[in-house]
Amino acid sequence: MSWFESFILGLVQGLTEFLPISSSAHLRLTAAFAGWNDPGPAFTAITQIGTELAVLIYFRKDIARIVSAWFRSLFNKEWRGDHDAQMGWLVIVGSIPIGVLGLTLQDAIEGPFRDLRLIATTLVVMGIVLGYADRRAARDETGGKHRVAKQRKSLQELSVRDGLIFGICQAMALVPGVSRSGATISGGLLMGYTREAAARYSFLLAVPAVLASGVFELKDASQGHTAWGPTLFATVIAFVVGYAVIAWFMKFISTKSFMPFVIYRILLGLALFALIAFDVLSAHAAESAG
């Protein structure tokens, strides 16, 4: 992998990790369209460490409060009813599905799941799901001619059941094209949470999963042929760009709809189907990991 490739891929990772459009799909597609080798799941997992560091810094006050309350609750019963302590447990519970499925489906993640036809399908299908969830949330928030506005749930109302459902939604992102934030936000909106609450929990839930995946891939990559210089450079780029995207996205969702992302996902998926159907692009283009 060249330094130019690592710069572009790090930029793509930072731009797409927190938007509901799938960073893993965009890394795969960028390589395919540019005629580069597929950067592979190891590159994706390692560069995601950069974007998760951006999450740790952006939400540092929330995370510090949650971690502190959670540790105190281990030794002091009075803290076990605290919302932040409960959030710590809910993040752990929500991380179980992706941990189990990530290990179980590792071979599929590194092989069949990277087929561009599957990516096109997940882009379209999850785009439709996100669009439906967004419209449903909009109806609740604004009401209508014959409806009154409905109060949506905040993170204060997050239960173990809902936390586990969030986690199952996050695990769906093991398939490129689904999108970690897209799946978890869609799940949250369908369960009745506000856009901000769904996005905030989505980002917090991603931290242990992504960091664990990155460390796991670091161990394997150290025994392979990973181009460490370019990979670390891409990780730094992803961190800087990712931080800016989080700040923008959290402001965007407070007043705007997800429909621009829905339209983008569907159009990209359909275009990908067309390119494959007319033999402009192979479903296995650039499939060998670089």
The SS3 call for residue 61 is: helix
Q: How many domains does the chain have?
A: 1
pLDDT digits (tens, 9 = 90+) for 238-268: 999 999 999 999 999 877 889 999 999 999 9
Could you tell me if residue 173 is inside a domain? yes
pLDDT reading at 284 higher than 60: yes
- Are 47 and 238 in contact by the 8 Å Cβ rule? The answer is yes
Could you tell me the residue range of the domain that residue 254 belongs to?
3-278
Cα atoms in the 13 Å half-sphere on the side-chain side of 115: 8
Rounded CA separation 57/176 (Å): 26
Could you tell me if residue 290 is inside a domain? no
**Backbone phi, psi, residue 78, to 5°:** -65, -25
pLDDT digits (tens, 9 = 90+) for 126-172: 999 999 999 999 888 776 666 666 888 999 999 999 999 999 999 99
Could you tell me if residue 125 is inside a domain? yes
pLDDT reading at 222 higher than 90: no
The residues pairing with 144 across neighbouring beta strands, listed in sequence order, are 147
Could you tell me if residue 287 is inside a domain? no
Could you tell me if residue 289 is inside a domain? no
Could you tell me if residue 25 is inside a domain? yes
